[in-house]
Amino acid sequence: MASKLVSAALAIFGSIACLVPARAEYPEKPITMIVPWAAGGSTDQTARVLAKAAEASLGQPIVIINQPGASTTIGMAALASAKPDGYTIGTLSSTGYLVALQGRQLPFDPINAFSYISYYGDNVIGIAVRSDSKWKSLQDLVDDGKTRPGAIKYGTAGVGTTQHLTTEALQFGTKAKFIHVPQQGSAASMPALLGGHVDFITETSVWAPFVEDKQVRLLAVTTPKRSKLYPDVPALSESGYKSLRSVQAIIAPAGVPEPIRATLETAFRKALSDKAFQETMDRLAMETIDIPGAEVKKLVQGEYDLAGQLLKEIGKSK
């Protein structure tokens, strides 16, 4: 009798279980990636190719949505407020957290509003001069900046950018004195240099084709070590100078369940070896760097703290 009751109970349980739909494996539908920059820029180009490569592991398409504006804060706010279910992810660039250090009120925490999936690379920021410049090395430039304080002008994408803060840090470390002439974005910096409106630029790889055809000379790069693309050009760190990284990472809203975050991390880190992605990074003079999500937040926090320190130093020097 007891065995019949047990069998009946199991049958009833099995019938009920059949009525409960099985939990679907993530992902079961397309994923949206928010890129807080206009289409066509380096972040947009690299993110698109990387996302396409990651689709092979995820088994679902990744749809790119460009939401530029307000120094990336429009797109970043949209990402921070999205449902943390793994179906909305985005890209992180240094600008996304640097703006918070410049007095701008943001509707999200620049560090803690996000889950960190993986790192994928650095923009190679370089200090560049025209090929006919008398400065053959970074030390030449620094020495002249000390001898003739305020006589040398430099251009960057704008005030408070990674490029600007790195050059300010160089001045603090060497006691050289340069004059900042901010441009309307990185694209405007090269014409300013070639036209003689500034004497040098600290910029992302807009200078790459001009280095290639020998119109421009690179004096230094700001990557943690020498760039594989420019092995003969010293990194600022070799001389003990502070510099900020131009971060490129994949993130999501805070609170994404760990199994889902881990699935995304595996897919995006695997995608780094994709041939098309590697070719795109090389073409844009960007460094592919594989860092797991658990370490990305620490890296970003360190960059944020260093930038805050540099901004305080800049303020004290004015």
Any domain includes 2: no
Q: Is the pLDDT of residue 219 over 70?
A: yes
Residue 132 sits in the same domain as residue 221: yes
pTM value?
A: 0.81
Q: Please state whether beta strands 246-253 and 126-130 pair in parallel, antiparallel, or not at all (unpaired).
A: unpaired
Q: Would you tell me how many other CB atoms lie within 10 Å of the CB of residue 205?
A: 23
For the segment 296-305, what is each residue's pLDDT rounded down to a tens digit? Answer: 999 999 999 9
pLDDT grade for 316, boundaries at 50, 70 and 90: low
**Strands 246-253 and 88-93, how do they pair?**
antiparallel
Question: Distance between CA atoms of 162 and 143, rounded to whole angstroms?
Answer: 23
Query: Which range marks the domain in which residue 299 is found?
Result: 31-122+245-311
pLDDT at 18 (0 to 100) = 46
Please indicate, yes or no, if residue 19 is contained in any of the structural domains.
no
Q: Which residue has the higher pLDDT, 127 or 43?
A: 127
> Taking the chain, what is the end-to-end CA distance rounded to the nearest angstrom?
91
Q: What is the mean pLDDT of residues 175-194?
A: 91
Q: Are residues 274 and 221 in the same domain?
A: no
Average pLDDT over residues 112-116: 97
pLDDT tens readout for residues 222-245:
888 888 889 999 999 888 888 888
Please check whether residues 80 and 169 belong to one and the same domain.
no
**% of the chain residues with pLDDT over 70:** 91
Residue 183 has pLDDT above 90, yes or no: no
- Please report, for the domain that includes residue 93, its CATH number: 3.40.190.150
Q: Does 176 share its domain with 307? A: no
- Reported as a single tens digit per residue, the pLDDT across 59-79 is 999 999 999 888 788 999 999
The pLDDT score that the predictor gives to residue 204 is 87
3 assigned to some structural domain: no
**pLDDT band at 28; cut points 50, 70, 90:** very high
Residue entry with tokens 């008398």: 134
User: Taking 90 as the threshold, does the pLDDT of residue 30 lie above it?
Assistant: yes
Note whether 146 and 116 are same-domain residues. no
The answer to the question of residue 44 being in a domain is yes
Given 212, 242, 272, which residue is the final one in a domain? 242
Higher pLDDT: 70 or 254? It is 254
Question: Quick check: is 25 in a domain?
Answer: no
Last residue of a domain, one of 183, 217, 242: 242
Query: In whole angstroms, what is the distance from residue 266 CA to residue 118 CA?
Result: 9
Domain total of the chain: 2
Average pLDDT score over residue span 84-112 = 91
Q: Bridge partners of 126?
A: 203, 221
Please, what is the angle between helix 293-317 and helix 162-174, to 10°? 60
Instruction: Please give the distance of CA 239 from its chain centroid, rounded to a whole number.
Output: 24
Q: What pLDDT score was predicted for residue 231?
A: 93
